[in-house]
Chains A and B, each alone.
Chain A
Amino acid sequence: MIAIVDYGAGNLTSVKRAVSYLGYDSIITDDPEKIAHSDRIIFPGVGAAGAAMEMMQKRGIDNALKESFKAKIPMLGICVGCQIIMERSEENDTVCLGLIKGEAKSFPNNMKEVGNRIVINDKNALERYLKVPHMGWNGLNTVQNHPLFNGIEQKDEFYFVHSYFPVPIDKSNIYGETQYGITFASAIGKENLFATQFHLEKSGEPGLLILKNFCTWKP
């Protein structure tokens, strides 16, 4: 059984629907016991890292995830789930799970000086604005092979909605990168843990493919 962790952050049912579409059973749960005894764990999420961590600590989910990581259970973080596996997040200066060394940072923004905008010129010299949050479809440059990338092509795009992203200290934890003004890590992993900053459940067929690969992954 796949446990989809409910820590009060985000639309869990959309992840459950995608998993079910792929033909796998899952339960949405906030029970640390059930999480610890599941075969696979997905922790999705939108919202703030601080609120997510607070909820996790209150229910003991943080320890269940740390134990599951040590116990080599396949784990998949999505969006905020990709940030809270770091040691800390800049978002409200939150202490996180620390499964991967490094922190979650926000996109650089001198937003006040230029009226909430960063103006760049693209190759057509059209005036363009980089808005934060980074929202919409963007590419994924797979910088390392990973079993979850089986079948993924360089032209595939994924759906993002976020203002923060993970910055692993050890570059070997970075599997995929995306460009939005800067280049940032959008897919990271370590041993039995993998996480994407983009929403696998909203990224069409490439997203479903990574999700499907996770459902059969034997790290």
Chain B
Amino acid sequence: MLSKRIIPCLDVREGRTTKGIKFENNIDIGDPVKMARFYYEAGADELVFYDITASHEKRDIMIEVVKEVARTIFIPFSVGGGIRTLEDMRAVLLAGAEKVSVNSAAVKNPEIISQGAKAFGNQCVVLGMDVKHVGEKKGIASGYEIVINGGRTYMGIDALEWAKKGQALGAGEICLNSIDADGTKDGYEMTLTRLISDNVSIPVIASGGAGKPEHISEVLTRGCADAALIASMVHYGTYTINDIKNHLEQKGIKIRRNRKFSS
């Protein structure tokens, strides 16, 4: 049986990691390559890097980070943030990422999903979705709407319809981020996660709101997520990957046990 995946997420700006609370007041917490190795040894099943570098000129720094990470850890990792073209996708995959995540670029140009899937394989393309609860309204039957720009721009697209369309276009996985829950540490958006998981056949990574291990066991069972994205709850040392996996195992959830590193 497949193990449920625990995936630390590292926000990277100009080559350094940060962790934003609701996308504001980002605090610098270090070297992404060292953090990647730390989480690799700590038993993370996969890693996600989001490049939040604003200036396009400085984006090459991220490619160098990806290359160095790929020489340092031997588990899958994905890279997202600022991916706009097929060439952007190619660059991070060639640098050593296993998967590439598209978010707002896919909203503006859905064809990038199918082009990426065709060029690199479905398993390489992760559809990142930022979602806000807006209530049922015209065009938003599920009550969940796709947003971009960190939640500032409403796109008038139903999140459920977008998830189905993303799958049809060839996305291999969905990383589902609730803007409402993000940074709250109050738990994942369970209704949203369950809704999307029930309606697509590709894996769903739940994102936004993880504050304690119970939130993760909840979203992996009741939420039917295949994987859980975590950030500040481990970045600031509140919990270790082991704490989380111990809890999941107690709840009867299958997880992967990492080997101990001798040195």
Interface residues of A (CB under 8 A from B): 11, 13-14, 17-18, 20-21, 46-47, 111, 115-117, 122-124, 126-127, 129, 131, 133-139, 155-157, 159, 161, 179-180, 201-208
Please determine whether A136 and B224 come into contact, CB atoms closer than 8 angstroms: no
Contact A131 B1 (CB under 8 A): no
Query: Is residue B184 within 8 Å, beta carbon to beta carbon, of the partner chain?
Result: no
User: From DSSP, what is the main secondary structure of chain B's interface residues?
Assistant: loop
B256 touches A137 (CB 8 A): yes
For residue A211, which residue of chain B has the nearest CB? Answer: B74
User: Which residues of A lie under 8 Å from residue B96 when comparing CB positions?
Assistant: 11, 13-14, 17
Determine if A157 and B94 form an interchain contact, defined as CB atoms under 8 angstroms apart.
Answer: no
Docked-complex contact A124 and B1, CB < 8 angstroms:
no
In the complex, which residues of chain A have a beta carbon less than 8 angstroms from the beta carbon of B201?
111, 115-117, 129, 131
Complex-state Cα separation, A207 to B76, whole angstroms: 12
Cα of A159 to Cα of B98 in the assembled complex, Å: 12
Knowing A122-B1, A136-B3, say if A47 contacts B121 (CB, 8 Å): yes
Q: Report, nearest first, the 5 A-B pairs whose CB atoms are least far apart.
A: A116-B201, A137-B3, A157-B256, A137-B256, A136-B2
Could you list 10 further interchain pairs (A-B, Cβ under 8 angstroms) beyond the known A116-B201, A129-B201? A11-B93, A11-B96, A135-B173, A136-B2, A137-B256, A138-B1, A155-B257, A157-B256, A161-B123, A205-B258
B98, B227, B252 pick with most chain A CB within 10 angstroms: B98
Chain A neighbourhood of B130, CB < 8 A: none
Interface contact B259-A206, CB-CB below 8 Å: yes
Contacting pair B261 A205 (CB below 8 A) = yes
Of the candidates A135, A157, A201, the one whose C-beta lies within 8 Å of that of B74 is A201
Chain B residues with CB under 8 A of A124: 221, 252
* Residue B226 interfacial (CB < 8 Å): yes
Q: Which of B1, B70, B123 contacts A180 (CB 8 A)?
A: B1
Which residue of chain B is the closest to A206 with respect to CB atoms?
B259
Nearest A residue (CB) for B44: A204
B5 at the interface (CB under 8 A from A): yes
A205-B70 contact, Cβ under 8 Å, with A116-B201, A131-B203, A159-B75: no
